[in-house]
Amino acid sequence: MADGPILVIAGGAGFIGANFARYVAAARPEWRLRVLDKLTYAGDRARLAGVDAEFIAGDIADPEAAASVLAGARWLVNFAAETHVDRSLQDAQAFLRTNVTGTFVLMSAAGDAGVERIVHVSTDEVYGESHGQAFREDDLLRPRSPYSASKAGGDLQVLALHATYGLPVCITRGANTIGGWQHPEKAVPLFTINALLDKPLPVYGRGEQRRDRLHVDDHSRAVLSVLERGEVGTVYNVAAGNNRDNLTVVRAILERLDRPESLIRFVEDRPGHDWDYIMDASRLAGLGWQPEHDFESALNLTVDWYVEHRDWWEPIVSGEFRRYYDRQYGQRLATSEAYRP
């Protein structure tokens, strides 16, 4: 184990947090890594295999767990959150508890522990829909789903702790992130896995909504840039400019896998489905960050990872996930429409 300063990574067993842990372990080998994660259905220690990090199972909303994990730490990055919009539409309780209360508890404990620098990881979804106009960091927050409203609540608590007590914190607001190790219920893994299993790909509405597809390695590099060079009290958008509508994404996945477009099914739309989230990331560019992956690179790397890692996702999609899948898609697929090019 390294013996340098301690970086605490909350939510470090999740998709982006674990990618960040792997990246920092290689880029800053002298740092000591300490991961705090509750291991919800979305957390998995397998993502941290081979990473030299202390692992503590615990909840960011538990003041004792937060205080004990932060003892002696120099830095904190918080990825811990409930993250899936569709689950927040089924039951938002856990979203409020973790994303608002948990964020407040963890950040307060970091202030008490004298942590020197903090990054709180947030999302473009707090701005609401952009309708083609790129969001800047000082724009109003108009979140439209229980998930994004809970993330906005967390952001506002973080900024309040900075204004009130001088908490040394920055916020990053990242775009839709893709890459290996993302939970199979999120859109790109779900479409890829269904295509590999020759099952229908359930596209909400007509697949017209657009998302920026940021590769997870670019997201991790952005968070480290902000931790090391960001201005305290400042928000940084993390956008790749890879905006594509969902139908384009699904067709690109099928093409990569050489599967037929007849697998595409238009299903009942997500209620309150946000149209798009376009962001201006020039403030982050001022710290020297640029995305390295364009749309094709980010998507192809992701699809290929799922082709090569059936051993990871097959047990997940055959477990508790089946109940979630049936609840979310059973009725939708029964009343779906085929895609006709």
Residues that bind ligand TYD (CB under 6 A): 85-86, 176, 186-187, 190, 202-204, 209, 211, 246, 270
Q: Is 125 tagged catalytic? A: yes
Q: Contact at 8 Å (CB) between 284 and 225? A: yes
- Give the separation between CA 146 and CA 96, rounded to whole angstroms: 8
Long-range pairs of 196-201 with CB within 8 A, sequence gap ≥ 24: 196/257, 196/306, 196/307, 196/310, 198/259, 198/263, 199/263, 200/263, 200/264, 200/265, 200/333, 200/336, 201/250, 201/253, 201/254, 201/263, 201/264, 201/265
**Contact partner, 98, from ligand NAD, ligand TYD, none, Cβ < 5-8 Å per class:** ligand NAD
Active-site entry in 59, 82, 86, 125:
125
Residue 148 interacts with ligand NAD (CB under 6 A): yes or no? no
**Contact partner, 157, from ligand TYD, ligand NAD, none, Cβ < 5-8 Å per class:** none
Shortest spacing between CB 192 and ligand TYD, in angstroms: 12
Shortest spacing between CB 71 and ligand TYD, in angstroms: 34
In 3-state terms, what secondary structure has residue 200?
Answer: coil
**Contact partner, 187, from ligand NAD, ligand TYD, none, Cβ < 5-8 Å per class:** ligand TYD
Contacts of 15 (CB under 8 A, 6+ apart): 42, 47, 177, 179, 181, 182, 183, 186, 216
Interface with ligand NAD: number of residues (CB under 6 A):
31
**Residue of the chain from 32, 34, 35, 43 that contacts ligand NAD (CB under 6 A):** 43
Classify the C-alpha dihedral 14-218-175-263 as positive or negative: negative
Q: Is 147 tagged catalytic? A: yes
Classify the C-alpha dihedral 202-204-210-214 as positive or negative: negative
Shortest spacing between CB 321 and ligand TYD, in angstroms: 12
Shortest spacing between CB 318 and ligand NAD, in angstroms: 19
Active-site entry in 59, 82, 124, 212:
124
CB-count exposure of residue 41 (10 Å: 0-12, 13-18, 19+): middle
Residue 146 interacts with ligand NAD (CB under 6 A): yes or no? no
Residues of span 158-177 touching ligand NAD by CB under 6 A: 174, 176-177
Q: Which residues pair with 9 in a beta bridge?
A: 35, 77
Neighbours of 274 (CB within 10 A): 20
Choose between 68 and 248: whose C-beta lies nearer to ligand TYD: 248
Shortest spacing between CB 212 and ligand TYD, in angstroms: 9
Where in the sequence numbering do the catalytic residues fall? Answer: 124-125, 147
Residues that bind ligand NAD (CB under 6 A): 10-11, 13-17, 36-40, 42-43, 59-61, 79-83, 98, 102, 121, 123, 151, 174, 176-177, 183
